[in-house]
Structure 1
Amino acid sequence: MHPSSLFGRLVLVLLIGLLLGQLLSIILLFKNRDQLLSKTQEQCLAQRMIEIVQMLESFAPNRRAQIIAILNTRRLRVLLSKATLPPAECVASNSSSFAPFLTQMHQHLGNERILCITKINVSPTYSFMVNIGLQTPLHPPFIAEVQLKDGNWVSFEHVHLAQENIATPWRLLISLAVLLITVLSLSLLAVRWLTRPLAILADAAEHLGRDIHHSPLQENGPTEVRQAAHAFNTMQTRLSRYLEDRARILIAVSHDLKTPITRLRLRVEQLDVQPLRDSFLKDLDEMQTMTTATLDFMRGLENTESVQPLDIRALLESLQADYEDMGLSVTLEGDTPPPYPARPQSLKRCLVNLIDNAHKYGQRVTVTLKNQSEQLQIIVADEGPGIPEAALETVFEPFYRLETSRSRATGGTGLGLSIARNITRAHGGDIILRNRLNGGLEAIVSLPNSAC
């Protein structure tokens, strides 16, 4: 599984790239170092053999056996012999891999000198560490025979005793760990610095959905970030101007309609025909109600009220007392949440619309408060007939009403739920409707437990 955030993915890519780059650089470094060490070892080995041959030739044959014991080492053993392979077979046994070695010895001992080198079939403990360059591959084991000037022969046996490590593993691990921690720390700071503008932009977009008049983003940082912030601020300005123009037009139209409606009412009241006059007055009352509701709806979109701590339970208790004065029953249940940052008048209008709606169609109303860790829920439940499942979302559309269960005869313009949802969403929450199992409808207001 890969990280879901951009920060995590960038860190993962940087970490994998750093590990691969470090491993490849170590392999290349040790490979080059091994080649140099192998060449140096070959030159030192040939030079020692040349010096031994020259030293033996400087002593009498009867004294050479005494010197041999001193010349032996753990990796190079020296033996004296009197007979060896014929020259033809000796040349044939020389491997091409020893060509540089033979060339160096001929340069110092002379080309007429008979040299015979045979590779020993010994299986050294080569491992994966040797193959990738973390361990030094020694010169291949061999037996070399050199003819002295007096015709005698000296044999050199070069063997492997153990592999040599360039660097102990714990030092490599510590070096790699220090490098990883350093680069990873810098990478985390760099990635956080680069991704922080995206988080700020996302937060600004979230606040834009709650408050179109939210303060604009600061246009600083890299070029791409400044361009994104400028585009976001431009979009916010255009949206704000569009909503203000639309609200201004609708408010002006709704307000201007009051004057002709009033004139029509005065003229209708002068009619002598009672049935016709009552019909006209009923239509004018409905137009007046729709105009007033439209003005309330547009005011609910403005969000000009400031945010302040609000005791929601105290607000509901005051509403409960008001409804009891009107002879309407409202039961209050649930928790007592701490003061919530809200727009008091807007939230009161939202709750009044929901409780009024419940009283119109459900008689008895119960309001339940649930203070949860992530959200505050206000549930307004009634005992009415409920509404069809397919219309649970449609009823939030402006001027939409269900003709079957909630007709125009009951009053209302179809804006109450729309106003309530707009207010709730302006607080960062939402409203959903749900039919109760035992009958009735409940409106669930969910507000986030964070500042607006």
Structure 2
Amino acid sequence: MRWLPRSLSGRLVIVFVGGLILAQLVSLSILLQDRGEFLARASGMQSVMRVVDILQLLDSSDASERDRIIRVLRSPQLKISLQASAVQVKREMLDPSAQETVFLSMLRHKLGSDREVWVNIRARTSAMPRGAPALEHGAHRVRTEGRGGSPVLVAHIRLQDGVWLSVDSTLEPQTMSWPYRALVSALVLLMAVIALAWFGVRWVTRPLKDFAQAAERLGENIDRAPLPEKGPTEVVSAARALNEMQARLSKYLSDRTRILTAMSHDLKTPITRMRLRAELLEHEVTQAKFKQDLAELEAMVSGTLDYMRGVQDGEPLQTTDINLLLKLLQTDSGELGHVVHIDGQAHSELLCRPQSLKRCLANLIENAVKYGEVAHVQITDSGQMLQIVIEDEGAGVAANELAMLFEPFYRVEGSRSRDTGGTGLGLSIARSIAVLHGGSLHAENTEHRGLRLTLRLPRASS
């Protein structure tokens, strides 16, 4: 699903908050139902007590006083009448509803089981004259479900002298109101839990984020500081495994670098002896070929040593003036007859390994002037990232060979001839130094078929 967040923390928050909202809705529906039933019972009990009081008053009064009492007690919400017959009453009570049964049980509880009582609930509508006695409209009884108007409780009770009392009492409409305080309380609880879930999930998933960042930095610098082994048990186990893997990789690379460096260094001695013996050859053509082969072999050995130093460099970090460093390289190239143009400048010094970075920039500029005659250096400093772009005016490189430029000992044939010299390690060394600084080196062809090398160095490099 596209609307789901991709992060683990975002998905956990959605699960927690969604479950909480669902639980709150279910709890609210139960609360409303229970509250409605409670209020209905409370309102019904009020009406029941009113009917009981009226019954007790009329039971204790003479027949001559009952009419006066009824006139005094009548109101728009309370209709009282007396009937001599119960025929109409029984016709209305043939099919009592659940609510009618509840009110009937409450009345019998107050009056006793030997009292004849009938209960009827209906809605007050325009079809029923408001001032008419309740028993005269039994045939037009309307159930409250699905109809407008306030529900009306009609109780039919036989007095001690046999006369039937009918009380038409309007139930209170407050049973339909919303529990706004409960809603506000639920909303406050929901917001508090959302906030706690957000901070709690971020606290739990923070070690995972650190673990992912450490794994990403491992590819940039194998000698970085080990990942702290803290957090949940699973994260601690993963961090410990990552640190052990880093230690093994670092040892493997260190051993390989040491072996290759020793081999390259030891090769210089026999190369020197072969060079001296080549001087003793009398045939000049053969001597020249031997010297050329030995020069290439020595260049490869020296390049390999430089490459190994670039891959694993123990030089300490120092703040370096990049503008001054590029000016020195421009001057050195000018003394060799090469043209280097510099445009832009760094706004501040860069924390880096000066000698390694100098070797990187020197290789890039040397590559540009060797194959493109002129090197154009463009400096862009964003405050967080220092970008140095070096372009040449050569013939460029085929698109399918751009990715291979940084491979050790790889040389582009055709446009860049082997006769120009080199071992194919210059760009590999430059990229290794860039990665050592936490940066990157990217190659692409320019619009004019020259080669553009883009070096990016973060200012937070370590």
> Shorter chain as normaliser: what TM range?
0.7 to 0.9
Identify which of 163, 166, 171 aligns with 1:152. Answer: 163
Aligned twin of 1:162: 173
- In the alignment, residue 170 of structure 2 is paired with which amino acid? V
**Partner of 2:214: helix, strand, or coil?**
helix
- Residue 18 (structure 1) aligns with: 20
Give the whole-Å Cα distance in 2 for the aligned partners of 1:175 and 1:90. Answer: 45
Residues 109 and 292 of structure 1: is their aligned pair in 2 closer, same or farther, counting only changes over 3 Å? closer
Which stretch shows the higher mean deviation, 188-197 or 40-49?
40-49
- 2:248 aligned partner: 238
Greater Cα offset, 182-191 or 42-51: 42-51
1:212 CA displacement:
1.4
- The answer on whether the counterparts of 2:78 and 2:170 sit within 8 Å (CA) in structure 1 is yes
Residue aligned with 2:173, SS: coil
After superposing the two structures, state which structure 1 stretch, 306-315 or 261-270, moved more. Answer: 261-270
With 376-385 and 106-115 compared, the bigger mean Cα shift is at 106-115
What TM-score results when the alignment is normalised by the length of structure 2? 0.86
Q: Assess, with a 3 A threshold, how the Cα gap between structure 1 residues 87 and 255 changes in structure 2: closer, same or farther.
A: closer
Aligned pair in 2 of structure 1 residues 223, 74: CA closer, same or farther (>3 Å)?
A: farther
Contact 1:83 / 1:153 at 8 angstroms: preserved in 2? yes
1:362 corresponds to:
372
Q: Matched residues in 1 for 2:95 and 2:256: separation?
A: 101
1:334 corresponds in structure 2 to: 344
Secondary structure class of the residue paired with 1:192: helix
Cα displacement (A) at 1:223: 1.0
Equivalent residue, structure 2, for 1:135: none
Match of 2:261 in 1: 251
1:394 Cα deviation after fit? 1.1
Match of 1:307 in 2: 317
**Counterparts of 2:109 and 2:20 in 1: how far apart (Å)?**
48
| 1:417 paired residue among 427, 438, 447 | 427
What's 1:32 paired with? 34
Deviation at 1:84? 4.9
Which of 321, 328, 338 aligns to 2:331? It is: 321
> In 2 relative to 1, CA 212–99 (structure 1 residues): closer, same or farther, beyond 3 Å?
same
Task: Out of 104-113 and 247-256, give the one that drifted further.
Answer: 104-113
Whether the aligned pair in 2 keeps the contact of 1:145 and 1:154 (CA below 8 Å) is yes
Percent of residue pairs identical:
42
CA distance in 1, matches of 2:287, 2:122: 126
Aligned residues: 438
What amino acid is aligned across from residue 145 of structure 1 in structure 2? H
Moved more, 206-215 or 252-261: 206-215
Deviations 1:11-59 (A, max 9, x none): 3332222222222222223323333343344445334423422321111
The partner residue of 1:52 within 54, 61, 75 is: 54
Q: 1:397 to 1:91 in 2, by over 3 A?
A: closer
Q: Find 1:196's aligned residue among 168, 193, 206.
A: 206
Q: Distance in 2 between matches of 1:424 and 1:284?
A: 31
Residue 283, structure 1, aligned to residue 323, structure 2: no
Q: Distance in 1 between matches of 2:150 and 2:156?
A: 17
User: How big is each residue's C-alpha offset from its partner over 1:175-200, in whole Å with a ceiling of 9 and x where there is no partner?
Assistant: 23432333233223312211211222
* AA matched with 2:154: I
2 CA distance for matches of 1:195 and 1:209? 22
Displacement of 1:121: 4.0
Farther off after superposition, 296-305 or 46-55: 46-55
Distance 1:187-1:335 versus aligned 2 partners, 3 A rule: same
Letter in 2 for 1:156: V
* Residue 448 of structure 1 pairs with residue 458 of structure 2: yes
Q: 1:206 to 1:95 in 2, by over 3 A?
A: closer
Asked if the contact 1:79–1:154 (Cα under 8 Å) also holds between the matched residues in 2, the reply is yes
CA contact (8 A) 2:371 2:394 kept: yes
2:275 paired with 1:273: no
Q: Which amino acid aligns with 1:211?
A: N
2:397 aligned residue = 387
CA contact (8 A) 1:142 1:157 kept: yes
Give the Cα separation in 2 of the matches to 1:9 and 1:107: 56
Instruction: Report the alpha carbon displacement of residue 89 of structure 1 after superposing the two structures with TM.
Output: 2.6
1:10 CA drift (Å):
2.5
Per-residue displacement from partner, 1:46-90 (whole Å, max 9, x unpaired)? 344234223211110110122224544664432233445357535
Contact 1:362 1:440 (8 Å CA) reproduced: yes
Residue type of the alignment partner of 1:148 = L
Alignment CA distance shift 1:3-1:73 (3 Å): farther
Distance of aligned partners of 1:186 and 1:90 in 2 relative to their CA distance in 1, 3 Å threshold: closer
Deviation at 1:120, TM superposition (A): 1.8
Of the structure 1 ranges 249-258 and 171-180, higher mean CA displacement relative to structure 2 is found in 171-180
Partner-residue secondary structure (3-state), 1:393: helix
Give the CA deviation at 1:345: 0.9
> Once the 2 structures are TM-superposed, how far is the Cα of residue 93 of structure 1 from its aligned partner?
5.6
What is the deviation of 1:104? 4.5
Distance in 2, matches of 1:439 and 1:185, equals 57
Bigger Cα displacement from structure 2, 100-109 vs 16-25: 100-109
Q: Deviations over 1:371-416 (max 9, x none)?
A: 2355322111111111112111111111111121222211001011
Give yes or no for contact 1:95–1:117 (8 Å, CA) kept in 2.
Answer: no
Q: What displacement does 1:277 show?
A: 2.6
- Tell me the CA shift for residue 94 of structure 1: 4.4
CA deviation map 1:123-154 (0-9, x unaligned): 8xxxxxxxxxxxxxx99534232232323221
Query: What does residue 131 of structure 1 align with?
Result: none
Query: Is 2:43–2:172's contact at 8 Å kept on the other side of the alignment?
Result: no
Q: Distance in 1 between matches of 2:184 and 2:117?
A: 48
CA root-mean-square deviation: 2.7
**2-side partners of 1:353 and 1:390: how far apart?**
22
Report the counterpart of residue 67 of structure 2 in structure 1: 65
Does structure 1 retain, via aligned residues, the 8 Å contact 2:351–2:459?
A: no
Between 1:230-239 and 1:99-108, the stretch displaced more is 99-108
**Residue pair 1:65, 1:80 contacting (<8 A) in 2 also:** no
| Structure 1 CA distance for aligned equivalents of residues 92 and 368 of structure 2 | 112
Q: Shift of residue 165 of structure 1?
A: 5.8
Q: State the distance in 2 between where 1:445 and 1:212 align.
A: 20
Whether 1:77 aligns to 2:99 is: no
- Unpaired runs of at least 5, structure 1: 124-137
How far did residue 113 of structure 1 move?
4.7
CA distance in 1, matches of 2:344, 2:315: 28
